[in-house]
Amino acid sequence: MNVKFEKFLATVERYLKPLPTSERVDIVKEIKGSILEMEQGDLSEEEILKRLGEPKDLAKAYLGDLMAEESGFSFTRVLTVCAFYSVAGLSGMFVIPVLGIVAPVFIVTGVLSVLCMAVKLTDYIFHLGLPYMENIGMFSINGVSVMNPFGEFFAALVIGAVLCFLGQGAWKLLKFYCIKVGKTKKDLSI
């Protein structure tokens, strides 16, 4: 059996994921037997692949046959679908809004904290006398800065980098969550 046929069989098996492993193995063995029979019948590789058709269509045909063979209603399937939508719905009500808000807020706050401290440091170095600069500070007690502007600027750089990193992490987590929920939903549907 050559590489193209192995790849074809692997693709068919991937489309048969909703089925139990034993049924998938049986179906792939059956298709493999058909391929071997056609090879012995002196058909070319292209002719065999043409007769088999697209892997997705072949898998759907098997899935359709198995669905038609089932005489009735699958209580386990209904429970699985209900459980998925319950968990995805409840977690989605919290996970998506929280991560959707936290990610950009952390990133914007990280950038703005550095910008504010850069303006304060510039005002301090060039004695510009910009209004309200004495009110901007990261470390203050009763409105009076405890650190000099250089220390506050470097602290703002560190804190800003951490906030941006956390914001990016929250964004990646949100994307991962949405992809996983979508993939699970797709795996549940036939």
* Strand pairing class (144-145; 140-141): antiparallel
Domain end (from 44, 69, 94): 69
Q: Which domain holds residue 56?
A: 3-69
| Separation CA 120–CA 149 (nearest Å) | 7
pLDDT (tens digit, 9 = 90+) per residue, 58-104? Answer: 888 777 655 545 545 666 667 767 777 777 888 888 999 999 999 99
pLDDT (tens digit, 9 = 90+) per residue, 145-176? Answer: 678 889 999 999 999 999 999 999 999 999 99
Residue 43's identity, in one-letter code, is L
3-class DSSP assignment, residue 71:
coil
Instruction: Please indicate, yes or no, whether residues 95 and 111 belong to a single structural domain of this protein.
Output: yes
Instruction: Please indicate, yes or no, whether residues 141 and 105 belong to a single structural domain of this protein.
Output: yes
Instruction: Please indicate, yes or no, whether residues 150 and 81 belong to a single structural domain of this protein.
Output: yes
Instruction: Please indicate, yes or no, whether residues 65 and 92 belong to a single structural domain of this protein.
Output: no
The H-or-E segment that residue 15 falls in is: helix 3-15
pLDDT (tens digit, 9 = 90+) per residue, 169-189? Answer: 999 999 998 888 887 777 665
Give the tokens for residue 186: 């797709």
Spell out where 37-169 has E strands. Answer: 140-141, 144-145
Whether residue 13 is predicted with pLDDT greater than 70 in this model: the reply is: yes
pLDDT (tens digit, 9 = 90+) per residue, 23-58? Answer: 888 888 999 988 888 888 888 888 888 888 888 888
Instruction: Please indicate, yes or no, whether residues 184 and 126 belong to a single structural domain of this protein.
Output: yes
Domain end (from 69, 101, 118): 69
Instruction: Please indicate, yes or no, whether residues 80 and 173 belong to a single structural domain of this protein.
Output: yes
What's the number of domains the chain is made of?
2
DSSP state of 63: H
Instruction: Please indicate, yes or no, whether residues 103 and 125 belong to a single structural domain of this protein.
Output: yes
Instruction: Please indicate, yes or no, whether residues 106 and 63 belong to a single structural domain of this protein.
Output: no
| Separation CA 61–CA 9 (nearest Å) | 15
Q: What is the pLDDT averaged over residues 14-22?
A: 82
Treating both helix axes as pointing N-terminal to C-terminal, what angle do 149-188 and 75-126 enclose, rounded to 10 degrees? 160
Is there a contact between 6 and 176 (Cβ–Cβ < 8 Å)?
no
User: Distance of CA 133 to CAs 6, 33, 143, 145, Å?
Assistant: 69, 80, 11, 11
The reported pLDDT for the residue numbered 190 is 47
Domain end (from 69, 93, 125): 69
Query: Could you identify the residue written with the tokens 């549907």?
Result: 189
The reported pLDDT for the residue numbered 150 is 92
Please spell the DSSP secondary structure of 19-41, one letter per residue. S-HHHHHHHHHHHHHHHHHHHHT
Instruction: Please indicate, yes or no, whether residues 133 and 184 belong to a single structural domain of this protein.
Output: yes
